[in-house]
Amino acid sequence: MAKNTSLYFRIVEGRNLPAKDVSGTSDPYCIVKVDNEVVARTATVWKNLNPFWGEEYTLHLPMGFHTLSFYVMDEDTIGHDDVIGKISLSKEAIAAQPKDMWHCGDADMLCSGSLLCPNQAGAI
């Protein structure tokens, strides 16, 4: 039976996000996907281009996962939410640098994490 791998990470903040709303601001939040399934969502920080989330998560990743993706989104009350930025990390990239800072493209979001693996430190 395959075991899960635990990934601890923090979604820290966004800096100088682009304005997506007509008011000249954005209403940013982050979502985390394992492959294409949403597994975590931060709170929305209303009318802010430099949001601070400071949220911590521990995900139990299935052994067969391929990609972990972080999206910075702009919440809209009418219509669909807008993507501000995204980063996708392969299983191999996470294992190679498990304690790195990850930046989310144009969104300049900071996220850090560490990998906790059963029986094999550092291996997924």
pLDDT along the chain (124 residues), means of 10: 72 88 93 95 95 90 89 92 89 70 53 43 36
- 123 lies in some domain: no
Distance of CA 122 to the CA centre of its chain: 20
Q: How many domains does the chain have?
A: 1
pLDDT confidence of residue 96:
75
pTM beyond 0.85, yes or no: no
What are the φ and ψ backbone dihedral angles of 87, each rounded to 5 degrees? -140, 140
- 71 lies in some domain: yes
- 15 lies in some domain: yes
Q: What is the CATH number for 63?
A: 2.60.40.150
Domain that holds residue 86: 5-114
- 124 lies in some domain: no
- 25 lies in some domain: yes
Half-sphere exposure of 6 (CA within 13 A, CB side): 8
- The answer to whether the beta carbons of residues 67 and 89 sit under 8 Å apart is yes
Give the whole-angstrom CA distance, residue 22 versus residue 109: 22
Give the whole-angstrom CA distance, residue 4 versus residue 76: 35
pLDDT confidence of residue 16:
86
pLDDT confidence of residue 31:
95
pLDDT confidence of residue 103:
55
- 16 lies in some domain: yes
